[in-house]
Structure 1
């Protein structure tokens, strides 16, 4: 099997990670493109002594570490207010901590593998993850709308959200309910399932909401690869079903990290 065939199944998930790390589909996808270009240009440099997925993320991290993350990738425009708030939070939590959190909680790497990717020992990764969660949870607070038609899943998400110190302003099970509740409460974060109770789409509900006001959105789906092609406007933050509580916590923390409307807690 060729290297390209080995890497293809892992590309959607690298896109997820890159988008979450940068807080932007455009910026994240640009780093993924740069990673693939580097592999094509020098295939002999690709790490062959590890699993292909690990090698792919390792190459991505080499690109990420060498880039100036304060500069735009591919000339994309970044809103000054959005960038300013992200920079202010970056001053209080190191990028390495955020990387460790996302690699373990969202991407499912072991502390050992995450350490390989970021150049740290496994015990250091554990400390970095704890530091990231503590700092981000302390910095952010939001009112959250949950769009989910499975009662048990909705209750679980609601518990996680409240445990993080956020307020749940509503739980909607249809597109119409979601839009109505969003317009009534204007939440600071939306957690949206893809398939809703009346066969309507959570994606359409979110499009309706975003047409009225801007709000960070985390999509929840059992088929993430369908929304991570890089070929059209797609979610920046995505959780895969079935999910771990730590994954939801990491996604919420990261989405709010880049949100200009979120205010410091306390």
Structure 2
């Protein structure tokens, strides 16, 4: 996948091997990983200092299930696009805490690529939107889809 725009990305993940693997994947895709945080405090400090375009946020961090609070702060206070990465989507609140979607863990390269394509499309950088079982976007389109399926 060639990217027309390189995103500045913050990874909020307490499992170091997952964080390093994701960092490598994102860099291979042409994006700039500006930081990796394992706790909510680190994530909030890095978000404030580094002003990322996008943050991948795990819900359960080194200091507990604080990822939802991190997502809410990054999205509302710092205008960062947030994507959750979690094995337990049931912990995501109904308001999505400001996040734009979720990637199921264990994540796949395809799921990450599709999530990035979605974010870039929302920002007007790409004309194609993707939706799969590995990445589920939040927002108007997904709510309309679910209400019409009922």
TM-score tier (shorter): 0.7 to 0.9
Distance apart, 1:141 and its partner CA: 1.3
Matches within 5 A, 1:200-211: 200-211=65-76
- 2:103 counterpart of 1:224: no
| Greater share of helix | 1
Distance apart, 1:191 and its partner CA: 0.5
Q: In the alignment, which residue of structure 1 is the partner of 2:46?
A: 181
2:75, 2:108 → 1: CA distance?
A: 27
1:182, 1:236 → 2: CA distance?
A: 17
Question: What's the RMSD between the two structures over aligned residues?
Answer: 2.0
Structure 1 residue runs of 4+, over 6 Å off? none
CA contact (8 A) 1:146 1:191 kept: yes
Q: In the alignment, which residue of structure 2 is the partner of 1:197?
A: 62
Please give the secondary structure, in 1, of the residue aligned with 2:3.
helix
Q: In the alignment, which residue of structure 2 is the partner of 1:156?
A: 21
Q: Which has the higher contact order (CA 8 A, sep 6+)?
A: 1
Which of the two has higher C-alpha Rg?
1
Aligned residues: 124
1:207, 1:227 → 2: CA distance?
A: 11
Q: Structure 1 unaligned runs (5+)?
A: 1-133
TM-score, structure 1 as length reference: 0.43
Check 1:253–1:200 CA distance in 2 against 1; reply closer, same or farther (3 A cut). same
1:245, 1:225 → 2: CA distance?
A: 23
2:73, 2:100 → 1: CA distance?
A: 17
TM-score, structure 2 as length reference: 0.75
Q: Structure 2 unaligned runs (5+)?
A: 126-150
| Greater share of strand | 2
Q: In the alignment, which residue of structure 2 is the partner of 1:256?
A: 120
Check 1:178–1:224 CA distance in 2 against 1; reply closer, same or farther (3 A cut). same
Distance apart, 1:140 and its partner CA: 2.4
